[in-house]
Structure 1
Amino acid sequence: MTTAVSVQNLTVSFDDFKALDAVGVDVVAGESFGLVGESGSGKSTLLRAVAGLAPVTEGTIRVENRQLQGARRGKAFYRSVQMVFQDPYGSLHPRQTVDRQLLEPLAIHGVGDGERRILKALDEVGLGSGFRFRYPHQLSGGQRQRIAIARALILEPSILLLDEPTSALDASVQAEVLNLLEQVRRDRKLTFIMVSHDLGVVTHMCDRLAVMRGGRVVERLSSADLVAGRIGEDYTRDLMVASKGFRRG
Structure 2
Amino acid sequence: MTHALAVDRMSVRFEDFLALNEVSLTVAPGESFGLVGESGSGKSTLLRAIAGLNAFESGILSIDGRAYSDASRAKSFYRTVQMVFQDPYGSLHPRQTVDRLLIEPLLIHGFDDVDRRIARALDEVGLGSGFRFRYSHQLSGGQRQRVAIARALIVEPKILLLDEPTSALDASIQAEILNLLEEMRKVRGLTFLMVSHDLAVISHMCDRLAVMRGGEVVETLTVEQLRRREVSADYTRQLMVASEGFRRKV
Which residue does 1:236 correspond to in 2? 236
**Alignment map for 1:163-242 (pairs within 5 Å):** 163-242=163-242
Cα deviation, residue 247, structure 1: 6.6
1:88 matched to 2:88? The reply is yes
In the aligned structure 2, how far is the partner of 1:164 from the partner of 1:201? 10
In the aligned structure 2, how far is the partner of 1:13 from the partner of 1:5? 22
Instruction: Name segments (4+ residues, structure 1) moved above 6 Å.
Output: none
In the aligned structure 2, how far is the partner of 1:98 from the partner of 1:53? 23
User: Which string of whole-angstrom CA distances, capped at 9 and with x for unpartnered residues, describes residues 88-140 of structure 1?
Assistant: 11000001100110000001111111111101100100110000011111100
Cα deviation, residue 16, structure 1: 1.1
In the aligned structure 2, how far is the partner of 1:104 from the partner of 1:145? 17
SS at match of 2:27: strand
SS at match of 1:194: strand
SS at match of 2:95: coil
Contact 1:33 / 1:208 at 8 angstroms: preserved in 2? yes
Cα deviation, residue 72, structure 1: 4.7
SS at match of 2:88: coil
In the aligned structure 1, how far is the partner of 2:247 from the partner of 2:130? 39
User: Which string of whole-angstrom CA distances, capped at 9 and with x for unpartnered residues, describes residues 167-200 of structure 1?
Assistant: 0001110000000000000000000000000000
**Alignment map for 1:9-88 (pairs within 5 Å):** 9-88=9-88
TM-score, normalized by length of structure 2?
Answer: 0.97
In the aligned structure 1, how far is the partner of 2:198 from the partner of 2:35? 10
TM-align CA RMSD: 1.3
Code of the aligned partner of 1:43: K
In the aligned structure 2, how far is the partner of 1:126 from the partner of 1:35? 27
In the aligned structure 2, how far is the partner of 1:195 from the partner of 1:123? 26
1:109 matched to 2:109? The reply is yes
In the aligned structure 2, how far is the partner of 1:224 from the partner of 1:211? 15
Higher mean alpha-carbon deviation, 68-77 vs 25-34, is at 68-77
Code of the aligned partner of 2:104: E
Which residue does 2:144 correspond to in 1? 144
| Gap change, CA 1:121 and 1:16, over 3 Å in 2 | same
In the aligned structure 1, how far is the partner of 2:195 from the partner of 2:233? 19
Q: How many residues align?
A: 249
> Between the two proteins, what is the percent identity of the paired residues?
69
Contact 1:54 / 1:71 at 8 angstroms: preserved in 2? no
SS at match of 1:152: helix
- Unaligned 5+ runs, structure 2: none
SS at match of 1:155: coil
SS at match of 2:111: coil
SS at match of 1:230: coil
Code of the aligned partner of 2:87: D
Code of the aligned partner of 1:123: D
| Gap change, CA 1:247 and 1:32, over 3 Å in 2 | farther
- Unaligned 5+ runs, structure 1: none
Cα deviation, residue 73, structure 1: 1.9
SS at match of 1:193: strand
**Alignment map for 1:128-143 (pairs within 5 Å):** 128-143=128-143
SS at match of 1:3: coil
User: Which string of whole-angstrom CA distances, capped at 9 and with x for unpartnered residues, describes residues 136-177 of structure 1?
Assistant: 111000000000000000000000000010000011100000
